[in-house]
Amino acid sequence: MRRSNEAKRMNDLSEATAPRLYSWLPVLISVMTVVMLAIGGIAFHYTETRMVATAGETLALTAAEVSDKLDRFLFERRGDVQMMARTFSVQPDNREFQSAYLASAKISYPDYLWIGATNERGQVVVATDPATVGRDYSAESWFQAVRNGKGVHLGDVEPFAVMGGPDAIAMTAPITGPRGEFLGVVTTRVGIPGLENVMTGTLLAFRQREGFWGALEYQFLTDKGVAFIDSDLQHKGHVNLKQLGLPSALLSEASLSSYVEEVHMRRHVPVITGYARTQARGGFEGMHWTVLMRMDRRDVLAPIREVLWNLGLAGCAVVVPIFGLLLWTVKRVRREYLLAQQERAHARDAEASLRKSETHTRRIIEMALDGFIGMDAAGVITEWNVQAQQIFGWPRQEAIGRLLSATIMPAQHREAHEQGLRHFLATGVGPMLNTRIEITGCHRDGHEIPIELAISPALGQGGAYTFSAFVRDISVRKLTEQQGRTYQEELQRLNEALDRRVQVRTQELASANESLVAEVAERMQTEVSLESSRQALQKLTFQLLRVQEEERRRISRDLHDDINQRLALLAMDIEAVERQLSFSPGHVREAVRTLQDRVVELSDVVRHLAYQLHPSILDDLGLPIALQRLVDDFTARSHIQGSFGH
């Protein structure tokens, strides 16, 4: 019910707005007609302008072609006179050869009016015109210039009196000897008709071009602006166009070649003039001439104006019936507009629903973590989300409409991509579709990046394929993998280096250990030797002490047992004598007592000596060793095993 009310409201609105909308159609048609006429007028003016520009550019190119041919012609003639001068330098006195050479040159090159050679004084010695032989040209400017060392001299256009006064160009080169001395000159006169022949061939080619007809005028100007060649023979050489202020003549001084629209100075009609200036070539300075090519503006525009006039008549014959047909069509369209509005309302609903769905889908795509790219069957990008922009650097507005291969594919993969696309469109088979692959992509700034790509085709309306691609930048992953491989290789290298160093250290330690073992063995052997030496020394010391003790004991025993006892007996005898002499005088007893005291004193001295000669082993080695020594001596004497402990 609600939907029917909305449809009824839309119908009422359409019926109310349709007459008001279509009432403007006649006015719109009239405005369109005026606009079309205005556009036609603008197009006509633009066409005329382009026709004039094209004609001017063609005339300028033709003038440049003629000036280039003039440069080449004069450069060749300059080379001729230089070659003649070098030939005459080889045979400076052979007049017969020189005369035959000049005659042959004039026959081979009809452009020469006259060729002659002078001696160092300026007198003609040989010439193609025998009447000029012997004439003195030493005062002429061309002879003076060459004699003064200025090289090849080119004169300006001037009448040549010898041949009856025709305009000619003088070219003069010096004849020098083996040591560079001046021997004379070779001089030629090139006729102006030869230069006009250069123009004739170019004009013939110009007139054969399509789209150009009518009179074509030309002029050759000297550097000062005097026309020495003119298609209008009546005014040749009579006017100086630069002094008269002709735009084309003045502009030629500032530009080598171009064109200009100006007014003809005699006929006072608009003309198009192309101009070009001769240039230097290969060390040849040139004549600085100007070539003017001129056509009437009316002749240039005549073809297009005739065509446009015919088109205008045909257009009127067609537009008037069409205008009537449009008015009839407006009435019919008004009726069909109502039905169209109803269909449009339904289409709007469907479009709104589709747009909402597209908006939702686009939002999902924009929020996706991977880059999303849509492509049509022609390989043109139709969708591009933010992630794709971040990966490849192309903004959405620039990426949409570009070829996928030219946007993200490196040059080495583009041909394969295009071949694969054509193969899929032809066969429906694509090995790279519906699978994830790792390839190299191309950033906007040109550097390549590793990406993971998955492409899925979809068959749309009308049987046209569309493609959806999801892209992921795997640069970080690749970098991590590369770093991992690098670290692993570095670790492997360090392990190998460590193994080598451990082996070296092990070898060094083994060598050091062997040296240490040898040193320890040597030290142990040394200690054994030292211990043996110590024991031997101790044994020797004991032997010395034993001998010393035995000697002391023997002396002490002798002193104690023999001398001391004898002294004791002597003292006893003296005491007995003293008793026997008790009744003797006092001085005898006193003498005996004194003798007894001295004997006692001597006995004490002997006892003291015997005491001092006691064994010193107690003082030298101590009581334990002395006791051990006594036990050892007892064992040795009695053969009874004894031991001492403390």
Please list, residue by residue across 588-626, b when 16 or more beta carbons sit within 10 angstroms of its beta carbon and e when fewer do. eeeebeeebeebeeebeebeeebeebebebeeebeeeeb
Token readout for 534 is 């110590």
Q: How many CA atoms lie within 13 A of 60 on its CB side?
A: 17
Three-point CA angle 169, 175, 177, nearest 5°: 170
Residues 464/425, Cβ–Cβ less than 8 Å:
no
Q: What is the C-alpha separation between 348 and 466, in angstroms, rounded?
A: 25
Which residue, among 196, 298, 292, has the nearest Cα to 244 in the 3D structure? Answer: 292
Instruction: Look at residue 3 in the predicted model and tell me its pLDDT.
Output: 44
Q: What is the C-alpha separation between 263 and 205, in angstroms, rounded?
A: 26
CA distance 203 to 216: 8
The pair of three-digit structure tokens given for residue 612, joined into one six-digit string: 């001092």
Instruction: Tell me the two tokens of residue 400.
Output: 């949409």
pLDDT score recorded for residue 464: 81
Q: What is the mean pLDDT of each run of 10 residues along the chain (646 residues)?
A: 47 49 67 79 83 87 86 86 91 89 89 91 92 90 88 81 71 90 92 77 66 73 83 68 87 86 88 88 74 87 75 73 74 74 78 72 65 87 86 88 87 84 83 83 88 84 81 84 84 85 83 83 84 78 73 68 68 72 67 74 70 57 63 68 64
What is the model's pLDDT at position 583? 62
Distance CA(206)–CA(114), nearest Å, equals 32
Against a cut of 0.75, is the pTM above it? no
Report in angstroms the alpha-carbon separations of 146 from 98, 151, 614.
20, 6, 149
Phi and psi for 434 in degrees, rounded to 5? 55, 35
186 near 89, Cβ under 8 Å?
A: no
The residue written with tokens 């035959």 in the block is 100
CB atoms near residue 187 (< 10 Å): 26
| 3-class secondary structure per residue, 553-597 | HHHHHHHHHHHHHHHHHHHHHHHHHHHHCCCCCHHHHHHHHHHHH
Phi, psi of 173 (to 5 degrees): -130, 145
Q: Contact at 8 Å (CB) between 453 and 467?
A: no
Contact 373, 388 (CB under 8 A): yes
Residue 191 phi/psi, 5-degree rounding, is -75, 150
Burial class (CB in 10 A: 0-12, 13-18, 19+), 520: exposed
Nearest-angstrom CA–CA distance, 98 and 101: 5
3-state secondary structure 305-361: HHHHHHHHHHHHHHHHHHHHHHHHHHHHHHHHHHHHHHHHHHHHHHHHHHHHHHHHH
Tell me, what's the pLDDT at 2? 44
Q: How far apart are CA 221 and CA 275, in angstroms?
A: 10
- The C-alpha atoms of residue 454 and residue 414 are separated, in whole angstroms, by 17
* Pairwise CA distance, residues 382 & 467, whole Å: 9
* Cβ–Cβ under 8 Å, residues 225 and 242: yes
Residues paired with residue 127 on neighbouring β-strands, in sequence order: 116
The bridge status of strand 182-191 relative to strand 167-176 is antiparallel
Structural tokens at position 507: 């070898």
Classify residue 123 by its DSSP letter.
Answer: B
SS3 of the chain: helix, strand, coil, percent, to 5: 60, 20, 20
What pLDDT was estimated at residue 121? 92
Measured N-to-C along each axis, helices 192-207 and 25-90 cross at an angle, to the nearest 10 degrees, of 150
Cα(53)–Cα(581) distance, integer angstroms = 191
Compute the distance between CA of residue 568 and CA of residue 587 in angstroms, rounded to an integer: 24
Tell me which long-range contacts 349-352 makes (C-beta under 8 A, separation of at least 24): none
Q: Tally helices (H) and strands (E) across the chain.
A: 16, 16
Contact 185, 173 (CB under 8 A): yes
Among left, alpha and beta (phi > 0; psi -120 to 50; other), residue 396 is alpha
H/E element, 456: strand 448-459
Do 136 and 123 touch, CB atoms closer than 8 A? yes
**Residue 480: CB partners within 8 Å, gap ≥ 6?**
none
Give the C-alpha separation, 578 to 572, whole Å.
Answer: 10
Question: Please, are residues 154 and 76 in contact by the beta-carbon 8 Å criterion?
Answer: no
